[in-house]
A and B are shown apart, each in its own frame.
Chain A
Amino acid sequence: MKATRVDRIATFFFWILGMISVGILFIIVGEIFARGLFIALKPSFFLGKPEAMKEGGGILPMIVSSIYLAVLTLLISLPLSLGAAIYLAEYSRGGKITRFIRFCADSLSSLPSIVFGLFGLAIFVVRLGWGYCLISGAFTLALLNLPTLMRSAEESLKSVPKTYREASLSLGASRWTTVRQVVVPSSLPGIITGTVLSIGRIMGESAALIFTTGTFIRKIPLNPFQTAAPLAVNIWYTQSEALVPDYRNIVNGGAAFLLLMVLVVNLVARYIGKFYRRRKGLS
Chain B
Amino acid sequence: MKSNLEVENLIVEKDKEVGKEMAKLGNKIEIRDLSMYYDSFKVLENITMSIPCRSIVALIGPSGCGKSSLLRCINRMNDLIPNSKVEGEILLDGENIYNPSCEVIELRRRVGMVFQKPNPFPKSVYDNVSFGPQVMGIDNKKEMDEIVEASLKKAALWDEVKDKLRTSALSLSGGQQQRLCIARALAVQPEVILFDEPCSALDPVATQKIEDLLIELKENYTIVIVTHNMQQAARISDITAFLLMEVQGEPGRLIEYSDTNKIFTNPSDYRTERYITGRFG
Our verdict on whether A and B bind, yes or no, reads: yes
Q: Which residues of A contact B (CB under 8 A)?
A: 93-94, 161, 163-174, 177, 181-182, 185-186, 280-282
- Report the bound CA distance from A164 to B115 in whole Å: 11
Do A182 and B132 touch across chains, with their CB atoms under 8 A apart?
no
- Report the bound CA distance from A46 to B106 in whole Å: 61
Binds A, one of B8-16, B44-52, B180-188, B223-231: B180-188
Are A163 and B122 CB-contacts (below 8 A) given A170-B75, A172-B109, A177-B135? no
Q: List 19 A-B contacts (CB under 8 A).
A: A94-B82, A165-B80, A166-B77, A167-B119, A168-B131, A169-B77, A171-B109, A171-B188, A172-B132, A172-B135, A173-B132, A186-B121, A280-B122, A280-B123, A280-B170, A281-B167, A281-B168, A282-B122, A282-B170
Nearest first, the 4 A-B pairs at minimum CB distance are A281-B168, A172-B109, A163-B119, A171-B132
Do A174 and B105 touch across chains, with their CB atoms under 8 A apart?
yes
Taking the closest CB of chain B, its distance from the CB of A184, in whole angstroms, is 12
Do B108 and A182 touch across chains, with their CB atoms under 8 A apart?
no
Are A167 and B135 CB-contacts (below 8 A) given A174-B105, A281-B170? no
Do B117 and A163 touch across chains, with their CB atoms under 8 A apart?
yes
- Report the bound CA distance from A164 to B181 in whole Å: 11
Taking the closest CB of chain A, its distance from the CB of B176, in whole angstroms, is 14
Taking the closest CB of chain B, its distance from the CB of A18, in whole angstroms, is 33
Taking the closest CB of chain A, its distance from the CB of B38, in whole angstroms, is 15
Chain A residue contacts of B168, Cβ below 8 A = 280-281
**Given A167-B181, A168-B131, A170-B113, 17 other A-B contacts at CB below 8 A?**
A93-B82, A94-B82, A165-B80, A166-B77, A166-B115, A168-B121, A169-B77, A169-B80, A170-B75, A170-B112, A171-B112, A171-B184, A186-B122, A280-B170, A281-B169, A282-B122, A282-B170
Q: Which residues of B contact A (CB under 8 A)?
A: 75, 77, 80, 82, 105-106, 108-109, 112-113, 115, 117, 119-123, 131-132, 135-136, 167-171, 181, 184-185, 188
Taking the closest CB of chain A, its distance from the CB of B120, in whole angstroms, is 8
Taking the closest CB of chain B, its distance from the CB of A281, in whole angstroms, is 3
Are A172 and B105 CB-contacts (below 8 A) given A167-B181, A281-B170? yes
Closest-by-CB residue of A relative to B167 is A281
- Report the bound CA distance from A280 to B171 in whole Å: 10
Chain B residue contacts of A166, Cβ below 8 A = 77, 80, 113, 115, 119
Chain B residue contacts of A161, Cβ below 8 A = 119
Which of B131, B136, B170, B185 is packed against the most chain A CB atoms within 10 Å?
Answer: B131
Chain B residue contacts of A164, Cβ below 8 A = 119, 121-122
Are A281 and B122 CB-contacts (below 8 A) given A163-B117, A169-B80, A171-B135? yes
Q: Which of B106, B109, B115 contacts A167 (CB 8 A)?
A: B115
Chain A residue contacts of B171, Cβ below 8 A = 281
- Report the bound CA distance from A271 to B77 in whole Å: 38
Chain A residue contacts of B121, Cβ below 8 A = 164, 167-168, 182, 186
Closest-by-CB residue of A relative to B194 is A170
Q: Which of B115, B167, B170 contacts A163 (CB 8 A)?
A: B115
Chain B residue contacts of A182, Cβ below 8 A = 121
Taking the closest CB of chain A, its distance from the CB of B117, in whole angstroms, is 7
Q: Which of A163, A167, A174 contacts B184 (CB 8 A)?
A: A167
Do B77 and A171 touch across chains, with their CB atoms under 8 A apart?
no
Taking the closest CB of chain A, its distance from the CB of B215, in whole angstroms, is 22
Q: Which of B117, B167, B185 contacts A170 (CB 8 A)?
A: B185
Chain A residue contacts of B112, Cβ below 8 A = 170-171
Chain B residue contacts of A186, Cβ below 8 A = 121-122
Q: Which of A172, A185, A282 contacts B106 (CB 8 A)?
A: A172
- Report the bound CA distance from A171 to B186 in whole Å: 9
- Report the bound CA distance from A164 to B112 in whole Å: 15
- Report the bound CA distance from A164 to B122 in whole Å: 9
Taking the closest CB of chain B, its distance from the CB of A168, in whole angstroms, is 7
Closest-by-CB residue of A relative to B172 is A281
Taking the closest CB of chain B, its distance from the CB of A158, in whole angstroms, is 15
Chain B residue contacts of A93, Cβ below 8 A = 82
Taking the closest CB of chain A, its distance from the CB of B192, in whole angstroms, is 12
Chain B residue contacts of A168, Cβ below 8 A = 121, 131
Closest-by-CB residue of A relative to B120 is A167
Closest-by-CB residue of B relative to A163 is B119
Are A172 and B122 CB-contacts (below 8 A) given A166-B115, A167-B181, A281-B170? no
- Report the bound CA distance from A171 to B127 in whole Å: 13
Closest-by-CB residue of A relative to B132 is A171
Taking the closest CB of chain A, its distance from the CB of B226, in whole angstroms, is 15
Closest-by-CB residue of B relative to A277 is B122
Closest-by-CB residue of B relative to A276 is B122
Do B108 and A170 touch across chains, with their CB atoms under 8 A apart?
yes
